[in-house]
Structure 1
Amino acid sequence: MFDEMDEIAQDFDDQIRQARESAGLSQKDLAQQLNEKASLIRKLEQGNSLPSDDVRTKLERALGIDLSAGGSTDETEWSGGSSSGEYTLGDVVERKD
């Protein structure tokens, strides 16, 4: 279920605000364009609320932005174990006897 969902960027609030301001839109104007409430736009820009998938899609299309988390964070995929790409519990757990 969650495999299909992209993670949202940590700075989604700043991205939304900057894109809206660059487009010359007020929060109310953007909300009307998206058929959403201005209070939702305010909460998103303050980082007090995460956008639903539907709202996220609307924002990305309307503002021409990508709110998915990029690969530039400190998080890196773990690599190791067998060369076949399959791991067992023994590959990642160190046993204490």
Structure 2
Amino acid sequence: MFDDMDELATDYDDLVRNARESKGLSQSDLANELNEKASLIRKIERGDTLPSDRVQSKLESHLGIDLNAEGGSAEDSEWSGGSASGSYTLGDVVKRKD
């Protein structure tokens, strides 16, 4: 069931914010044009919530962006964390968002 789902880009929040700002739109303006709530746009841009497939599609078409992750990034393919025993700690797998 989940094999056909596209993965959302890890920086989806920045992509949406940058595209909106480059078009000179406020969060409220974008929300009105998409017929969504401004609070939803704020939450997406803060990374507090993931856009639904419907909202993602609206954002992509209106802002001219692609929010899907492109497979694995170079950062993911170069990762070699973990110990020789094969056990991992939380620090091996967590990416901090500072």
What residue is the counterpart of 1:91 in the other structure? none
Aligned-residue offset at 1:70:
1.8
- TM-score of the superposition, structure 2-length normalised? 0.73
Aligned ranges 1:5-84 → 2 under 5 Å: 5-71=5-71, 72-76=73-77
CA positional deviation for 1:73: 4.1
Q: Which amino acid is 2:50 matched to?
A: L
Which TM-score applies when normalising by structure 1? 0.74
Segments of structure 2 that go 5 or more residues without pairing to the other structure are: 78-98
* Aligned partner letter, 2:66: D
1:42-74 deviations in Å (ceiling 9; x for gaps): 000000000000000000000000000124343
**1:17 and 1:5, CA in 2 relative to 1: closer, same or farther beyond 3 A?**
same
How many residue pairs were aligned? 76
- Letter of the 1:51 partner, please give it: P
Structure 1 segments unaligned to the other structure (5+ residues)? 77-97
Rounded Cα–Cα distance in structure 1 between residues aligned with 2:67 and 2:74: 14
For residues 58 and 26 of structure 1, the distance between their equivalents in structure 2, rounded to whole angstroms, comes to: 16
1:9 positional shift: 0.3
Q: Percent identity?
A: 66
* Shift of residue 75, structure 1, vs aligned partner: 3.0
CA distance in 2 between counterparts of 1:73 and 1:55 reads 28
RMSD of aligned residue pairs (Cα, Å): 1.1
